[in-house]
Structure 1
Amino acid sequence: MATDGETDPRELTADYGELESTPLVGEPKDVLGESRGGGGPAIDLALSGTVFFDIVLTGLASPPSSGTEVSAQGMGSCPGGVANMAVAASRLGLRTAVAAAFGEDVYGDFCWETLATQELVDLSASRRIPNWHSPFTVSLAYRGDRSMVTHEHPSPIPLHDMARDLPRARAAFVSLSSDGEVPQWALEQAKEGTLLFADVGWDDSQRWSRSVLEQLRHCHAFMPNAIEAMSYTRTGSPALAVAALAEYVPVAVVTDGPRGAIAIDQTTGEEAEVEGIVIDAVDTTGAGDVFGAGFIVGTLAGWPLERRLRFANLCAALSVQHTGGSLSAPGWADIAAWWGQLCASRHDENRERLSREYRFLGELVPLPWLPTAQRRASATIGLRP
């Protein structure tokens, strides 16, 4: 058995339920190892955006109403915002770089150290800003969904100024909006051969402007959820929505939570639809970002479309078992544990189907995995040894 708080790698083949609180996520696997020669980019994924200090409360008996107080059974603190996808991608082995502003406060210290030291995210394009407090979000997870309260001030250094310093990457991720354009830094990267992956935020105006679809001409892939996709395309089903989006972008993906995902890849002529993996959810924060990271990994590795969707679905499903949008992201040990438990369990019809659909994992997750310094979200920060 391991000592000093570490987990014996042999224990990773134990029942998956016992691994819920295991603090390691596994030794990174470089799925791009065979393609890294030849002087390509040193970075696999570049991102720019806001990093929030997130406090997530889980296990609420009911949401709070005016003048009342409710208790939460669980709590986690972690970097949020653009950190969600950055951490998810890094834990899956991508060399990831982020341009973001960090306050010179305790929250900023925590987010910077977590990303740079624990999660190995390149922050060379990011900046520490004195006399400016870090953006802050409180998230209430309740019955498979969440509500959020956010407080932030604009960064004194414009984000586009920092993003210009991002290293050239194989892929870049952007979030589109109806009142903006694809960021210039991403367009410059695309001119050098970078694949642009995009999603879109919720439209509070409910107008679902077509300007978002026009921006897709710059992108390689678009990954909205079903409601967003149907709203922007004025269609009545995910299947109709993905077909409509395929008119605008080479790779169209529509996610539908536990119901799965559907996609069309015009670069390969593939179409695929996969079922979701139903796992009891503790906190759904960041699941879409984790799906996106898994899909980008599979794309850069050159996997078939169906495998990319299944892998992304699994990563998103595993993430909702833990608190927080970034540090809930699975690593290779989490994936290996799920696969090992599936292979070792008594198979019913559903498990037989999953074993067939995910047999490709046998080539990706040989056991055992060694412990690492990576951790899950914890209830507090700054604990002294």
Structure 2
Amino acid sequence: MATQGRAAGGAQRPESEYTKLESTPLVGEPHDVLADAREPDSPAIDLALSGTVFFDIVLTGLAAPPASGTEVGAEGMGSCPGGVANLAVAAARLGLRTAVAAAFGEDVYGDFCWETLSGQESVDLSASRRIPNWHSPFTVSLAYRGDRSMVTHEHPSPIPLDLMAHELPPARAAFVSLSADSGVPEWALRQAANGARIFADVGWDDSQTWSGSVLDQLQHCHAFVPNAIEAMSYTRTGSPASALAALADHVPVAVVTDGPRGALAVDQTTGESAEVEGLVLDAVDTTGAGDVFGASFIVGTLAGWPLEQRLRFANLCAALSVQHTGGSLSAPGWADIAAWWGPLAGNAVSNGGGGGAPQLARDYGFLADLVPRPWLPTDQRRASATIGLRH
């Protein structure tokens, strides 16, 4: 757990300090936001994904990354499934029936990731495979000064991901990460042919060429959710707003996220446009915050919420996630949302509502219908993001 490190003589911090650093999201009653839309002939799965599941070790609270030949102390650590698992867990905790096609090694890392996703988070792994004599992909993430650096080791899966992904059940939505090196995956196009909406993001371009072929792929997508730097780079524009306008020529729903400054979007299927400010909460680890935003936006879209509400909800969920360690297991569920909303709603009521209510309570007033005030989370927390911890 969290210590001051060997440089400080190995002295342990008080439990009150490391409990805060290592806290995990609450457990509450399940909440299905799509309950009213479910029909006997509806897809059994809401969101289908395929990609690499990494075993992540996350070290938090570093003053700086280690320089050559030096050692630095970390205030906190966690272990959890990463990669495509980040978005899968975030969606599942918000009530989406989620399925993943991925390769898992038959090593202790693969065991942990499989059991966490399937058993703890109820993610459908029927299209995934356990592979003997194959090392699970592995990442170490170093969180410092509100950002993070990563070191990854992986071998290509002996079974191609696209082959596994063809076994994914039909879904309402599919999520893909676009790349200049390949088109929209065939499995996602097959999902779209069966009625699924494709949501997409894009990874960082190490070559800095920002190929226009990525924008060409948006013709197959329903929504595109890049960050501001990616959006401006691919569209050759100088501001998030200009990038959004350019992206709207390529995809029905364009969203540009801008970190603590918020997000802006255009939904041409509804004729809406919206821009919302960021929601800044105390941060422990920013790993996976973008995945949480994407999953939350998908939830709101499938539920048919107004665009501004979708953006605010996604901002809130991403902000709540950075308060905990680990990309996937930091994702909030409805209990965490209720715990944040309850005091805010109570203060608004005590102030008499209307003009006396704080602006934040008015902006997030839609949560009153999603997490009614009498509903409270339990005191139980989810399993800590630690592979070897025994209770």
State the partner residue of 1:309.
Answer: 311
Contact 2:222–2:252 (8 Å) recurs in 1: yes
In the alignment, which of 154, 157, 160 is matched to residue 158 of structure 1? 160
Alpha-carbon shift at residue 37 of structure 1 (Å): 1.1
List per-residue Cα deviations over 1:128-183 (Å, max 9, x = no partner). 00000110000000011000000000000000110000000000000000111100
State the partner residue of 1:363.
Answer: 369
In the alignment, which of 303, 319, 322 is matched to residue 321 of structure 2? 319
Distance in 1, Cα, partners of 2:252 & 2:258: 20
Residue type at the aligned position of 2:375: P
State the partner residue of 1:237.
Answer: 239
Alpha-carbon shift at residue 25 of structure 1 (Å): 3.5
State the partner residue of 2:337.
Answer: 335
List per-residue Cα deviations over 1:197-243 (Å, max 9, x = no partner). 00000000000000000000000000000000000000011111011
SS of 1:206's equivalent in the other structure is coil
Alpha-carbon shift at residue 24 of structure 1 (Å): 2.4
List per-residue Cα deviations over 1:89-146 (Å, max 9, x = no partner). 0000000000000000100000000000000000000000000011000000001100
Distance in 1, Cα, partners of 2:265 & 2:62: 35
In the alignment, which of 230, 239, 260 is matched to residue 258 of structure 1? 260
Query: Is the alpha carbon distance of 1:319 and 1:350 closer, same or farther for their aligned partners in structure 2, counting shifts above 3 Å?
Result: farther
SS of 1:98's equivalent in the other structure is strand
SS of 1:363's equivalent in the other structure is helix
Query: Is the alpha carbon distance of 1:231 and 1:168 closer, same or farther for their aligned partners in structure 2, counting shifts above 3 Å?
Result: same
List per-residue Cα deviations over 1:14-48 (Å, max 9, x = no partner). xxx98983552322210000010141100000000
SS of 1:190's equivalent in the other structure is helix
SS of 2:366's equivalent in the other structure is helix
SS of 2:250's equivalent in the other structure is coil
Contact 1:25–1:91 (8 Å) recurs in 2: no
Pair 1:129-2:131 in alignment: yes
Distance in 2, Cα, partners of 1:219 & 1:263: 15
Distance in 2, Cα, partners of 1:300 & 1:70: 45
State the partner residue of 2:302.
Answer: 300
Contact 1:118–1:373 (8 Å) recurs in 2: no
RMSD: 2.1
In the alignment, which of 95, 103, 108 is matched to residue 105 of structure 2? 103
Q: 5 Å matches for 1:204-215?
A: 204-215=206-217
Residue type at the aligned position of 2:368: G
Query: Is the alpha carbon distance of 1:373 and 1:211 closer, same or farther for their aligned partners in structure 2, counting shifts above 3 Å?
Result: farther
In the alignment, which of 37, 40, 53 is matched to residue 39 of structure 2? 37
Q: 5 Å matches for 1:263-274?
A: 263-274=265-276
Q: 5 Å matches for 1:1-385?
A: 21=23, 23-345=25-347, 352-366=358-372, 367-369=374-376, 371=378, 375=382, 377-378=384-385, 380-385=386-391
SS of 1:330's equivalent in the other structure is coil
Alpha-carbon shift at residue 350 of structure 1 (Å): 12
Contact 2:89–2:117 (8 Å) recurs in 1: yes
Alpha-carbon shift at residue 345 of structure 1 (Å): 4.2
Count of matched residue positions in the alignment of Structure 1 and Structure 2 = 368
Query: Is the alpha carbon distance of 1:212 and 1:377 closer, same or farther for their aligned partners in structure 2, counting shifts above 3 Å?
Result: farther
Contact 1:27–1:372 (8 Å) recurs in 2: no
Alpha-carbon shift at residue 344 of structure 1 (Å): 3.3
Distance in 2, Cα, partners of 1:384 & 1:226: 41
SS of 1:140's equivalent in the other structure is strand
Query: Is the alpha carbon distance of 1:210 and 1:82 closer, same or farther for their aligned partners in structure 2, counting shifts above 3 Å?
Result: same
Distance in 2, Cα, partners of 1:372 & 1:192: 42
Task: Answer with 17-26 or 186-195: which moved more.
Answer: 17-26
TM-score (norm 1): 0.92
Distance in 2, Cα, partners of 1:282 & 1:34: 36
State the partner residue of 1:10.
Answer: none
Alpha-carbon shift at residue 381 of structure 1 (Å): 1.6
Contact 1:264–1:270 (8 Å) recurs in 2: yes
Contact 2:22–2:325 (8 Å) recurs in 1: no
Alpha-carbon shift at residue 281 of structure 1 (Å): 1.0
Give the share of equivalent positions with the same residue, in percent.
79
Alpha-carbon shift at residue 343 of structure 1 (Å): 2.4
List per-residue Cα deviations over 1:51-75 (Å, max 9, x = no partner). 0000000011221100000000100
Query: Is the alpha carbon distance of 1:90 and 1:200 closer, same or farther for their aligned partners in structure 2, counting shifts above 3 Å?
Result: same
Contact 2:21–2:325 (8 Å) recurs in 1: no
SS of 1:67's equivalent in the other structure is coil
* Gapped regions of structure 2 (runs ≥ 5): 1-18
